[in-house]
Amino acid sequence: MRDYLLTLCVTAAVTYLLTGPVRKFAIATGAMPEIRARDVHREPTPRLGGIAMFFGLCAGLLVADNLQNLNAVFERSNEPRALLSGAALIWLIGVLDDKFELDALIKLGAQMIAAGVMVMQGLTILWIPVPGAGMVSLTSWQGTLLTVALVVITINAVNFVDGLDGLAAGMVCIASAAFFLYAYRIWYGYGIEAAAPATLFAAILIGMCVGFLPHNMHPARIFMGDSGSMLIGLVLAAGAISVTGQVDMDALKIFEGSARQATHAALPVFIPLLLPLTIIAIPFADLVLAVVRRTWNGKSPFAADRGHLHHRLLDIGHSHSRSVLIMYFWSALIAFGVVAYSVHSASMWILLLVVGLSAVGLVLLLLPRFTPRAPLWAQAFVPPRYRRRSWRQKERTGAGGTDTARDATGPEGGADAAGAPEPEPVPAGVNGATALSAHSHSQDRPKAGSRR
């Protein structure tokens, strides 16, 4: 676990440190497209954040190759090299798209070529687990077709959800964290070494997203662009393909008494068929709804609009940050719920917990004006809008929730406005000029607790 954490931290550090220079490079090269009608940001923001994420990926693979416990992944498998080859190709196409706005068909062709490059180097689905039938081997063309389809769908699902600041990076980070726990359990829990590459890919992907998120949270200073969204989508798909096509469920018979018991105990092995779908469940549902909506209105399915799920959250009254957090919540609930169920499939409390959290999520979804308040011990760790107001602040606040003193005196606190405080009495024996000077200084000097 320490080696995986070291790889994750190095990847995150390299991504974080390079994002600042990449932002300056994007501004210098003009990779700042004009604001479109469907965009939610108000100022042109540079793209090309995927450059920092790609070099973070390279750094993570380089560190893992030089660690004693992870070097075996590179010696016994060609999957890390296949991932790097496909990632380099898709990243290059993404950089060109961020700068020159490539056609959608060109990007689709590049995605298929990148998936084909990984298949040629061994990163492909060889068999799939089927409940009741065990492992079903696939022919060469079947495995290639299924691999390419999974890569293309995952890349476009991640690219599709990249509509709000921090949304895509956060959702992929949550998904890769759940996938890391699943793959790590298969690797060290069952001793199946074929799950080691998928575990490494998930750890590196977490680092890429964690390193980029501080620059991408609202208000974002830089966007990952297609160079980043397609890259993390490909890495996410590569991990799912690796653990699905290489882990043999029949190996679990060594630990179980019969084939039937092995099939029941192998529920985690069936998860690769479900976990990638649960990871992209929200963006895939958004994709299907968009195609149906646009087709119903007589438009092209590829015509952009403002009808996506995150746009709808904004339209019903949720703030930008809360819309992102709601999407995070549902992604985490689905991904971690599936992983938890794979560990304790016979436990009813997992199902009850998921149902309860779903009810909480629905309440938060339907109450966009509700603002939660953090407890007193967490006041220093949350944004100001989630802090509890003290009684002094409440006394200065009117019915509309604004500071009445400031509203009465204006933004500069002028004493001539209606409702301004009376000047302090001047002691006897002080001439008019001195009194005026003293009053003037008392107005310029801020009082205790002043908001100036």
Strand partners, 134: 130
Helix or strand holding residue 412 (H, E): none
CA distance 203 to 210: 11
pLDDT at 305: 57
Q: What is the pLDDT of residue 42?
A: 61
Q: Burial of 9 by CB count in 10 Å (0-12 exposed, 13-18 middle, 19+ buried)?
A: middle
Neighbours of 325 (CB within 10 A): 15
Copy the structure tokens of residue 4.
């995986």
Q: What is the DSSP letter of 397?
A: B
b/e code 123-146 from CB counts within 10 Å (16+ = b): bbbbbbbeeeebbeebeeeebbeb
pLDDT in the model for residue 229: 94
Strand ranges, E, within 109-203: 127-130, 134-137
Whole-number Cα distances in Å, 337 to 87, 179, 206: 29, 11, 19
pLDDT mean for each 10 residues of the chain (452 residues): 93 97 93 65 82 97 92 90 96 93 91 95 82 74 91 86 85 90 83 86 96 91 93 92 70 49 52 62 69 71 59 65 82 83 70 81 68 70 64 48 40 39 45 43 42 38
Cα–Cα–Cα angle for 337, 243, 213, rounded to 5 degrees: 60
Q: What is the pTM for the complete model shown?
A: 0.74
Q: Which helix (H) or strand (E) holds 136?
A: strand 134-137
Per-domain residue ranges of the chain: 2-315
Q: For strands 134-137 and 127-130, give the pairing.
A: antiparallel
Instruction: Give the pLDDT confidence score for residue 309 in this predicted structure.
Output: 65
Q: Token pair 């999957």 is at which residue?
A: 79
In single-letter form, the type of residue at position 2 comes to: R
The pLDDT assigned to 317 comes to 62
The rounded distance, in Å, linking the Cα atoms of 286 and 303 is 14
To the question of whether residue 159 is assigned a binding role by annotation, the answer is yes
